[in-house]
Structure 1
């Protein structure tokens, strides 16, 4: 690669200005004054992220434990495989957010990425928590092995794993931009067929504790995706040499490939689930890809999927589409905190 590798941002450099001269490869003292940052509205994003605070083990899973045994074998298998999938995405995302922050010379980006990394760690903890609530340790370990062994899942994750590792090995501006693109895909599209499965169960009053957990994860990911897409646009604006037709075509190609793999994975894991329309789900995946591209300042690639074909999902995630919803859809889903009185005595 002809491009020079970037250096990690200095921790403290008092001779530099507090307001960074650039998001990456700029100059900054390392001192963060939220009232003096290059992109002032990012403070609101930081505050929204902090407002999403929650803890996995405060969600009552007693009823899910009872219900899991009554799920069909296909439903149980999908449940375990999708939890395995989600864990393979959130675990590396924790580290990737931290690594991006090491090269960010804007301290506001460092702070926002620190919150995102912490939330991804909570998400990964939540997958361990829900599995420990409903299945044996052997089953839990089996689910977490899927990301290493399942051929369909390995194929699905190959491109993102390759890019994340390339960024570690070659921390260039090109790899920063490409890693941000895959982070946008992860936060805004890769999770969503899995989320849809748990919301599908909740529509039937099944595994509501799990779906409540997922809705909180979903809410976090919406905020992560919003910031990541804004970061992408800002970095391109600051580095116009990368704002080219060639790079745009790489983004579109990466999205198309990712959508194809997501649809293939969804058909594989949900084929035997009664009540899920796989064609509708494929349309929903394309809709999510279009939405993320729009947020990144790019054009849609699936003109027939500009509207959400699975509108019922909006009832399970706050502000799912970022649009106005009716009273019932606006109501936040409150989780029930587990205590000695309302949870563990029933397990």
Structure 2
């Protein structure tokens, strides 16, 4: 298949219709009327996103400052490493959301991605905020260097880096779809072993301010993941030539690889944390992967992990196991039942 590079969407083209003809590579005037968009239910997704507005400095970190020194050496080390991980992942998400919006010809997608980008910027600021609340500037800077120096973290992020940069270099529909796969993995799985660590501390009445902030981020990421999964399905629906066995296998292979690397990372960063069962953590990662695959319209890879093995997390995460019927499922439930053989053929 020849590579067709997409042009960036025009800002204003009054000769085109207000309702976009496609989410990417289509035509639209650039005028957004929320009552006249191609996928009307996306307005509700937009409303949920803006309803989540918050700022990092609204969270009182006084107790965390007092408690940080009483954490074990392993807990303090893991705290800094996990913040380093989260900042490494959230920073690029701001840019990636903006890049996707530049090529989106549907103005509703542009607006939703603008909100997502703003929220990712808040997330990244919040990591600076919590670190500045509990450690010195030198320790803050060292934590933010982990994404550049730690060999396990570098290995874990290698495939993300490659795909995100491939999209920058070659903005094709194929690369947009693959970038959305990794964005879904980030929003729906990669963050979650880190989230679990902070919820574990809160369960022991430690660093509750940090866990409160993480729960706000978690709530945002759930909405981001839900929208990216829908955008992936809509893009594939509008570009049936991309609906191939090769793409299906690519998605499954990269999910498997990502799960393996996330488990490797969690074993590395959580190994010395008393009270976290690493086998349970691995099952939780597979559960999250299954959940994202279902949202994207694919079959589960880990049928033995369809239930959340860490149910105590529900007390800390907003609507953690919540599922909503979306526009696509209302039209057809075939998406969630596709097999490895037929891939996206039912989309």
Number of the residue aligned with 1:97: 97
Question: Aligned residues, how many?
Answer: 324
Q: CA deviation at 1:2?
A: 2.7
SS in 1 for 2:225: helix
Offset from partner CA, 1:120-171 (integer Å, 9 cap, x none): 0000000000000000000000000000000000000000111000100000
Q: How does 1:11-160 map to 2 (within 5 A)?
A: 11-160=11-160
Does the alignment pair 1:161 with 2:158? no
Number of the residue aligned with 2:178: 178
Distance of aligned partners of 1:42 and 1:323 in 2 relative to their CA distance in 1, 3 Å threshold: closer
Q: Whole-Å Cα distance in 2 between the matches of residues 191 and 47 of structure 1?
A: 24
Number of the residue aligned with 2:337: none
Number of the residue aligned with 2:252: 252
Does the alignment pair 1:292 with 2:292? yes
Q: Whole-Å Cα distance in 1 between the matches of residues 295 and 244 of structure 2?
A: 18
Q: Whole-Å Cα distance in 2 between the matches of residues 185 and 266 of structure 1?
A: 15
Q: Whole-Å Cα distance in 1 between the matches of residues 111 and 136 of structure 2?
A: 38
Q: CA deviation at 1:244?
A: 1.6
Offset from partner CA, 1:38-71 (integer Å, 9 cap, x none): 0000000000000000000010000000100000
Q: How does 1:326-337 map to 2 (within 5 A)?
A: none
Q: CA deviation at 1:323?
A: 5.2
Q: Whole-Å Cα distance in 2 between the matches of residues 135 and 253 of structure 1?
A: 40
SS in 2 for 1:113: helix
Does the alignment pair 1:219 with 2:212? no
Offset from partner CA, 1:217-239 (integer Å, 9 cap, x none): 00000000000000011001001
Q: Whole-Å Cα distance in 2 between the matches of residues 246 and 98 of structure 1?
A: 28
Q: Whole-Å Cα distance in 2 between the matches of residues 185 and 35 of structure 1?
A: 31
Offset from partner CA, 1:67-104 (integer Å, 9 cap, x none): 00000000000000000000000000000000000000
Does the alignment pair 1:281 with 2:281? yes
> TM-score w.r.t. structure 2 length?
0.93
Number of the residue aligned with 2:336: none
SS in 2 for 1:89: helix
SS in 2 for 1:302: coil
Q: Whole-Å Cα distance in 1 between the matches of residues 137 and 240 of structure 2?
A: 51
Q: How does 1:192-341 map to 2 (within 5 A)?
A: 192-322=192-322
Q: Whole-Å Cα distance in 1 between the matches of residues 233 and 24 of structure 2?
A: 13
Offset from partner CA, 1:247-267 (integer Å, 9 cap, x none): 111000000000000000000
Q: CA deviation at 1:246?
A: 1.3
